Structures are given as structure tokens and as C-alpha cells.
Amino acid sequence: MNNSNSTDIYDADLTSGVTAFDTKNFTMAYQLLAPLASQGNAESQWRLGMMQMNGLGMVENQPLGFENFMKAAKQDHVFAHHMIGVAYMMGEGVDKDINKAVEWFEKAAEFGIPGPMYTLGMLYEDGKEVDKDLEKAKLWYEKAAEANEP
């Protein structure tokens, strides 16, 4: 059996699935990405998680979305870490736990993306859910600004 052929189909499905997702054709995205997610593809798991978490093209299923974020995060998917932080912060698909949220935002920040850094800055500046710490807030805002620079 020629393995490169199945790899080509896999890559084509992933590319098409991502395109379908990005153009908000979530039904098509699900059909293409679900089989890849079940095979362990992190990008597919993350996008499936986004659809399940937000009810995009399907009935909302936040616990399942959270599960897919966790699977993708185990493979170091950058945005999955951030979304797990959001899930813990909001109590979406999992019990609300601000300490776990902070933990996941910090893990996501290690990948150098600004989103979790801004969120950490806001949490520390706000001081409603974590102890107010303007030094930490300033630090995270500065890191986020640096991460945003081209």
C-alpha cells in the first residue's frame, strides 16, 4: 500500500476542514475534521472543541469541547492552552476555577501569544477573582505588547 497517498488525503482533509472552519462552513468543517480529531490531530481537536464549546454548526456541548481542548493541549497546541484557561475562568464545560485558569493562561503565555498575557494582566488589574497585583498586571501587559510586535 502506498502510504503517501493516505497522507495526501489526510493533509487535503485537514486543509479543507480548516478552510471550511475559517469560512464559517461548520457543518463541512465538522465532517472533515472529526475523523482527523479522532486520529489525534491537535489542530482538528482544537477546532472541533471551538465548535462544540460555542455551538457552531452543532448543538453546544461544552464538556466535549473542553475534552478536545485538553487532547490538543497535550500535544502542545498553543491556542488550546488559552481556551482551557478561558473555560476555567468562565466555567464553560468544566467547573469554574480561577487558579486553574491562571495556570493555563501562564502555560499559554509561554508560547509567546498575546491573548493569555492580556487576560492575565486584566485579571491582576481587576482584582475581583485573583488578588489585585498592579505590578503583575503591568508585567503581563508589557509582555503582551512585546508579543504583539512583528
- pTM recorded for the entire structure: 0.90
C-alpha cell recorded at residue 103: 495556570
Alpha helix positions (H), the chain: 3-22, 26-38, 42-54, 62-73, 78-90, 98-109, 114-126, 134-148
- 91-109 average pLDDT score: 97
Say if residue 1's pLDDT is above 50.
no
Range 140-146 average pLDDT: 96
pLDDT value for 96 = 97
Q: What is the mean pLDDT of residues 92-115?
A: 97
